[in-house]
Structure 1
Amino acid sequence: MQRAWVFFWLLALIWGSSFLLMRIGVAQIPPAQLTFTRTVIAAVAMNITLLLLRKRYPTDRSTLIWLVVIGLGNTAIPFTLLAWGEQTVESGMTSVLQAITPVFALVIAHFTFADERITPLKIMGIALSFGGIVVLTSRDWAAGQGFGGDLSGEIAILVASFCYGLFTNVSRKTLRDKKVEPVVVAAVSMTAAAVSAAVMMYTLPLLGERAPVSYASLTPEVLRAGVVLGVLNTFVAYLMFYYVIEGLGAARAAMVTYVVPVVAVTLGALFLNEMIDATLLLGSALILAGIALVNLRLLQRRAKLETPLAQQPEKL
């Protein structure tokens, strides 16, 4: 278990650094191209892993279609929205806004699964989280930016969080109904995400977004950011997460959600000189407190029911 805790903190550091790396990457790489870069690297690595494990793609058309949809909605679109938002929004702020994903997931699950119901405690958590969003975006309204500048980027990040919340439930339903192993879901959906990102990379410029750039023109720092996002923050982190689940259980592994924004805000301040002010601290505290209330009963229930992963392979 001690080793699993080491991986838990490493995972928090890796995922927390994603926002720093995206902020560095979008300085020269258009958002959709940055998404393509990290997903194509991760897709190649995941498909090699699939071959080594002697797993295969699903053969029925319905399952494949759902996995492609998951790749588009749970990876390609939110990755691109996050990168687009980080063109104007600081990495620490992005991580805090993205942390609200479990709240969106809960609201959607309430209308999707019989075992996920919104209780008064969860309503309080939702209210706190959205109060945190109001606090975080208040700086832009106070500055008279309206929907321009940082606020449009913040909205893009919140839409990305909604996508994660929505497709977390779609993924859960697919895993349950289609009985597809998570490693297969990851390989197929990441491949679909890479293809989708390639399409967006060349179509979004028609809508006024930046055109793709030559990788040869990138500075070493930006190129490293893109490669590390693909190898470490997407592929390795996925494998590490399931190792942490195996060692600590799903309930404890899910607690990494609370650590990631702290890591991201700290890294942003250290390496990008991002400002940490009272508004950021108050908004972050409200969102994390809300998420804690939303997840409290769920984590307690999982902790009681949990057995080692080897006895519950369906959790993978």
Structure 2
Amino acid sequence: MTDQTAKPAAPAIEFALLLALATLWGASYTFIKLGIATIPPVTLIACRTLIAGLLLLGILRLRGIALPRDGATWRRFLVQAVLNSVVPFCLIAWAEYTVDAGLATILNSTSPIFTFLLTVAITRHEPVSFRKLFGVLAGLTGICLIIGLQALNGLGRELLAQLAIVAATVCYAGAAIFGRGFKGLDPMLPAAGSMLSGAALLVPASLLLDRPWTLVPSTSSVLALLGLSVFSTALAFVIYFRLIHTLGSVGTTAQAYLRVPIGVGIGVLFLNEQLGPTAWIGFACVFVGVVAMTLPGRAPRTAAPKPAG
């Protein structure tokens, strides 16, 4: 078996991948908002999973890697699809009819909290250290500072849609924990298998509910769907399953904290938005929180052998 022990340069690589994943998934809320303007949520997500699954399948074929054939693995793919795509994707897409993309990002950024709580209460598969607890608290503090307390005024409106996003967040937390079971597989296999399994559930639902042949989607919605499928799904999920193995479920979901500062940064660069000093302090808190939750722990020291005699 190949030794998969992390090399000294690995932490920097994993942090870079964590940032890339946060960017790809942070952009997905805008893609969804543009997509549902003329494409119903179930059809949008059905196309998202189908396109991403087929793209990943094609890449696997080029790499000479075959999908598993046993039923047990495909049942696990199906569970992963329900937790990580079918249910949360549809809930978020439906919610964004009435919830702004920014508020959806904020609500969904709480996934590390639910992963942490599920880990503590149920699975206990990762050590619950003070450092990780500090990371959770620092990340939440940073988000509150960045968005400002006035942004929370909208939490009372459109309650059902906002609860739907929170429910999607809980699904993501469960998926991050369940995804650890694919550790022996190439990261593209669970990504492709879960996307194809999700499409198998969603395409028939789309045909029954939306009659997609009657739709006339706009160019912007189609482009948003392609961006959502290729970048925020296919590429993002390959990175996601790698990070589940290297950073753990709690560490991987810490990328949710990076979505908000990334969105703020885009606003500063392209929309001439201004950041106050409090927001910069919040960004620092988020960065510290992510580092605290994802930095590998020290290996236990091996006791020196006692001299004989």
Shared fold (TM-score greater than 0.5)?
Answer: yes
Q: Structure 2: where are the runs of 5+ without partners?
A: 1-8, 300-309
State how far apart, in whole Å, the 1-side matches of 2:268 and 2:39 are: 22
Matches within 5 A, 1:86-125: 86-118=96-128
The reply on whether 1:139 has 2:153 as its aligned counterpart is: yes
Aligned residue in 2 for 1:175: 182
Q: 1:214 to 1:261 in 2, by over 3 A?
A: farther
Q: Given the two structures, how large is their TM-score scaled by the length of structure 2?
A: 0.71
**Cα 1:62–1:239, aligned 2, differ >3 Å: closer, same or farther?**
closer
CA contact (8 A) 1:50 1:56 kept: yes
Deviates more, 1:252-261 or 1:85-94: 252-261
Give the deviation of 1:234 after TM superposition. 1.2
Distance 1:233 1:152, change over 3 A: same
User: How much does 1:13 deviate?
Assistant: 3.6
Percent identity reads 23
Distance in 1 (CA, whole Å) between partners of 2:18 and 2:291 is 18
In structure 1, distance between residues paired with 2:122 and 2:287: 20
Supply the distance in 2 between the matched residues of 1:6 and 1:230 (Cα, whole angstroms): 21
Q: Which residue does 1:299 correspond to in 2? A: 295
SS at match of 1:217: coil
Aligned with 1:160 (options 147, 168, 186): 168
1:233 partner amino acid: S
2:198 to 189, 193, 199: 193
Match of 2:5 in 1: none
The DSSP-based 3-state class of the residue aligned with 2:98 is coil
Q: Which has the larger radius of gyration?
A: 2
Distance 1:218-1:181 versus aligned 2 partners, 3 A rule:
same
In structure 2, what residue type is equivalent to 1:64? W
> SS of 2:47's equivalent?
helix
Alpha-carbon offset, residue 285 of structure 1: 4.9
Deviation of the 1:73 alpha carbon? 1.6
Cα gap change, 1:225 to 1:268, in 2 (>3 Å): farther
Paired with 2:182 and 2:223, the residues of 1 have a C-alpha distance of 34
Structure 2 counterpart of 1:313: none
Does the CA contact (< 8 Å) of 1:91 and 1:264 recur in 2?
A: no
Q: Aligned-pair distance for 1:162?
A: 0.4
| Deviation digits for residues 267-299 of structure 1 (CA, Å, limit 9, x no counterpart) | 57998x9x9999xx79x959x958965872552
Q: Does 2:28 correspond to 1:28? A: no
Following the alignment from structure 2 to structure 1, what is the Cα–Cα distance between the partners of residues 86 and 154? 28
Query: 1:74, CA displacement in angstroms?
Result: 1.1
Q: Superposition RMSD on alpha carbons, in Å?
A: 4.2
CA distance in 1, matches of 2:125, 2:165: 29
Aligned CA distance change for structure 1 residues 158 and 70 (closer, same or farther; 3 Å) = same
Q: 1:291 to 1:100 in 2, by over 3 A?
A: farther
Which amino acid letter does the alignment assign opposite residue 36 of structure 1?
A
Query: How many matched pairs?
Result: 280
Equivalence for 2:236: 237
1:1-316 correspondence to structure 2 within 5 Å:
11-118=21-128, 129=140, 138-140=152-154, 149=158, 151-172=159-180, 174-176=181-183, 179-202=184-207, 205=209, 211-214=210-213, 217-239=216-238, 250=247, 256-265=255-264, 267=266, 285=282, 293=289, 296=292, 299-301=295-297, 304=298
Please tell me whether the aligned partners of residues 20 and 268 of structure 1 are also in contact (alpha carbons under 8 angstroms). Answer: no
Conserved 8 A contact 2:176-2:253: no
When structure 1 is superposed on structure 2, of 158-167 and 93-102 the one drifting more is 93-102
SS of the residue 2:295 aligns to = helix
Q: Give the 3 Å change call, closer, same or farther, for CA 195–270 of structure 1 in structure 2.
A: farther
CA distance in 1 between partners of 2:124 and 2:252 (Å) = 24
> What's the offset of the Cα at 1:225?
0.4
Q: CA, structure 1 residues 188+35, in 2 after alignment: closer, same or farther (shift >3 Å)?
A: same
Unaligned runs of 5+ in 1: 206-210, 306-316
Q: TM-score, normalised by structure 1?
A: 0.70
CA apart distance, 1:101 = 1.0
Distance in 2, Cα, partners of 1:63 & 1:157: 29
